[in-house]
Each structure stands twice: as structure tokens, then as C-alpha cells.
Chains A and B, each alone.
Chain A
Amino acid sequence: MKNILEYLEYSTELYKDKIAFTDEENELSYRKCLNDSKRIGTYLLKLNKKRKPIAVLMDKNVESLTCFFGIVYSGNFYVVIDSKMPQDRIQKIFETLEPIALITDHKYEELATSLHQHVCIYEDMMSTSINEEKLQMIRNQMIDTDPLYALFTSGSTGIPKGVVISHRNVITYANWFVNTFDINNHTQFGSQTPFYFSMSVSDVFSTILTGATLHILPKKLFSFPVKLFEYMNKKKVNTIYWVPSALCIIANLKVLDYVDLPYLEKVLFAGEVMPTKQLNYWIKKKPHLMYANLFGPTETTDICTYYIVDRAFKDDESLPIGKACQNCDVFLLDENNQEVLDQSEGELCVRGSFLAMGYYNNLLKTKEAFIQNPLNHSYPEMIYRTGDLVKYNDRGELIYITRKDFQIKHMGYRIELGEIETAVSSLEKIQSSVVIYDRKQDKIVLIYVGKISEEDIMKGISQKIPQYMYPQIFIKTRNLPYNQNGKIDRKWLNDHYLELKEKK
């Protein structure tokens, strides 16, 4: 198959009135999902454009999914906009993206109208009659390297970059995901990550590939884990693919001591480092589940390497990121662009069909990150440099070391901030922690949440890391800042960590 809609159509033929997507208020069968998407697609035909971006500003609900598919039916590609994002940032994205229209619903009509001159309202589009013939004409012109969506990630310069992902990317990627984790028509996903975040692509597209069901978990329930578990059990959720922060909420509060998740079979995670201590809580409580650590940037669709947990880890050991996904190749390059073949560290590079098409309207940044394979002088071949430093262990598994930018030179030593973090977060009383480097002062800064004194932290980590890695500034805080994807906001911390210091 060459177009993601073919999978939706195929699953609809097989599963008809089976529920494809649910949220707190509504549910959508395959048949209704397909028809609603076609209505939206038909409506958008009047824009008379091909391969152009159309933005969607809606809550994470089942209706928004039909907008995504509808945009694809119209021959264009979709871009999800977070309704909670500051207007300023949306405008910056629109400057780069120049979307031809903005889809929203009545709830966000006012905001949308202030952002774009061509606003299409979901409720209005629903009254469109489907024009199968015209939709088919559009489809016949589409090829698998056409863009399916673009996802905006924060750029280091403050200008967001729109990663363009094609049908081919998602089809190749989702087929790996489905085969590796045995996703099938019995799978009931409990979806945690927002649709503007690459991880959600795995849940959504493996659902339509296999005729599974995806349950959107209401965001507010993550405040109230017992209610969250009750909701998941009501929906019989058996597969979750969450960010570690969400899994840590459960572990830190020991929620599984109070309520069980009897249907759960698979726990997958990605997006940041999963602290082993919290993972061990899950494994202790639910020893027979599949646990897998997935790793990769948005630029490789979502993931490029993975590790299925197959042995026990101590709290201060970190999980491998494993090996390359099927039909995706990774290799390590050193500072001189030579391949690393032993156990030394190198930058993780990726080649193959998972690789995004580039950054939308940003040739300069595209050329920096997507480059000709320096090991291949014979024909054009793109690779993506992840900016992540990794190495192989004795078992031949890849080990994540740090972001290239997080590796610091301090008192003559080369230090990985992640190694200090692993040592600190293994201490029993630490809830969460992050280590940054204050370049101006040449100081290692530890920011943490937990009922533990500086002395006890020092006592704990002195067994684990050498003296030159000891943090020099300790900030005990009540809340770590998180970015919109739910990851710890390191960029903000670099300049503002002093503001977190508790007022005594």
C-alpha cells in the first residue's frame, strides 16, 4: 500500500462498525470515521490545492482525527496546533508554515479567526455530501513520498522547525511497530501523548493498520491516578505507550498498591530517559508484562532503536536503547566522520525509510541535519545525525550516553550530565531530578524534588560517581518546569534555575 488512507479503508471493510477511536464524550466506529473523514476531504477540495499544509486547532478528541484524515483525502497534509500554545508561538509557526486553511470547531472559533483568514469549522464541514469520484481523482495523483503531516519541534534558535513526514515514512515505521509489539485487532490502546507530539503517531497509525481501538485518555485524569486506572479498566486498555513522566506518577505514588490494571499487557515508553527505579516498581507489581524502551527523534518518524526489557536492572543502572528497528539502519560516527566499530562513543546516525523529508520551508536547517552519508561516496544517500552520543555495551546493545550538547568539559574532565542524573535519581527519596551545567560559572547544578538533604544526596552518590562529577549547586524545589510535551524543560532551566530556589 502506498497511502495511509488505504489502511483506513481496508480496516473499515474488515471491521465496519467496530469502534476505532474513543474519547471521554464520543466514540467513532471505523465506518463513521471513514465517512466523516471523506466529508471533510470533499469540503476541502474547494481549496483546490495539493501537498499544502492545513493546520488543525482542536482538543485531543475523536473529531480531530477525522480532520487529519480528511485533510489527507483532499490531497494536502495536516499540522496539529496545540490549543494551549502561546499565540505568539502559533504565529511564528504560521510564518514558516503558511497554511492554506485552519480547521477548528466552535469551541476555538474565536481564537482561530484571530490567527488565520481562512478558517473551516468542523461542524459546518460535517454537512458536506461525499464526492467519491473527485476524492478518487485526487488519490490517483498521490504517491507515497507525498507529505502526510508536519510536526513542529522547538529549534535551538527559538524558531520552531516543522518536520515533514511522508506516507512512506509512516507506513514503514508503523509496520515495524505493529510487527515488533504484536499490535492486532485485539489491541486497546490507552493514548496519553498529544497529537502534536511524534509518539502519538505510533498509537494512531498502528490502530488503523490493524483494526485496533484507540482510547484517548482524558488529560485531567493524570492528576487523579485512581480515576485514571478506573477509566482504563472500563475501556479494557491493554497497551500503553507513554512518556516516562506519566509512568513515574504511577510509581511515585505507588498507585498499583491500591488499584490493579488487570487488562494491561504491554508498557512501552519513549521521549526521555525512563528512570530505572520507577520502572522497577512497575515490574515488581506487574512482572509478566512486556516492557520496552523506544528511542528516536521526530526526524526518524518517532523511533529508530528499541529495547525489550529481558533482564533485571538495578536502580542505578540505565536501560539500553537496544538495536535498530527493522528496515531502519543506525551507525555511529566519530568527530572525524569515521564509523565507530569498537565500543567507543559516537554520534548516532540513521538511514532508511524512517527518515523525514526535512524541515518545512527551512532548507538551511535541513542541510545541517540531513546530510549525505559520509561513508558512501558512490551515490546520493541521506542520513540523519541525531545529535545523540551512544556506544555499544558487551552484549552488543546500544547505550544512550547523552545529547551532544549536554556533554560538558569541567575541570579538565569530560562529563555526561546524564550519568550524574542516573546516580541521583536512583536514591530512594528522590522524586525527580535534573542536572544542568551553568557555563558562565562553570558549575554543575542539581535541581531536585524529594525529601532528602544535600548531605544525604552526597553520601548516596559518592558510592556511584567520581568526585569531579559531584554537583556544586543544589536546588531543592517544589516543582520542576515541564515543556508542552510533558518533558522536563531543560532549556528554560539553563537560564532560570535560580528562580526555583525555595524561599525560606
Chain B
Amino acid sequence: MEELLDILKDMKPGVQFENEANLIDDGILDSLDVMNLSVILNDEYDIEITPLDIIPENFKSIESIYALITRLQED
């Protein structure tokens, strides 16, 4: 989770990701951010996020992103 937080802060400096539960609805992550983040996560965690995983529910908070990574690593 620490590492993921670093990645997110690197991408969007100044955002308190720990306290955000609505990253998408609040407009903190826009369309290109979600795309970029998926590419980075694939790279860093050696997973394959497919378009089917790219839905708002999986990106709404740092916890949900972490859960997505964990699930894909187990697959």
C-alpha cells in the first residue's frame, strides 16, 4: 500500500489519497490519469489490467485500487 501511495503521489502531487473515497466522482483522477495509472500499475506490479477491470468502482479509492492489484496478482 505504501508503494502504491508513492506512485499516486508521484502522479498527482498534493492530493491526500489516504482520505479520498471518491477519486473519480470528485474529478481527482481524470480520463488520462486512469489510463496512465493502469499502464504504470501493469508495469510496476507485473499484472495485466484489462479494459474490463477499468471501471469506476476499481479506481474510486486507494483501497479499491490496492484490492484490484492484489486480485490480479493472485490470478
Contact = CB atoms under 8 A, between A and B. Distances in A.
Nearest to A221: B31
Contact of B10 (A221, A223, A478): A478
Contacts of B35: 223, 249, 252-253
A110 B10 CA distance: 33
B51 A223 contact: no
Contact of B39 (A221, A449, A482, A502): A449
Contacts of B11: 478-479
A253 B54 contact: yes
Nearest to A431: B39
Interface in A190-205: none
Nearest to A226: B51
Interface residues of A, number: 28
A220 interface: yes
A502 B7 CA distance: 10
Given A449-B39, A479-B36, A255 B31 contact: no
B50 A503 contact: no
A169 to B, nearest CB: 31
Interface residues on B, range: 20 to 34
A259 B30 contact: no
B24 interface: yes
Contacts, number: 65
A258 B53 CA distance: 11
B61 to A, nearest CB: 15
B53 to A, nearest CB: 9
A254 interface: yes
B25 to A, nearest CB: 9
Nearest to A481: B32
Nearest to B56: A224
Given A219-B31, A478-B11, A225 B54 contact: yes
Interface string B20-49: 000010000111111110111011000000
B55 interface: yes
Interface string A490-503: 00000000000011
Given A220-B24, A258-B50, A258-B51, A479 B42 contact: no
Given A478-B40, A482-B32, A227 B55 contact: yes
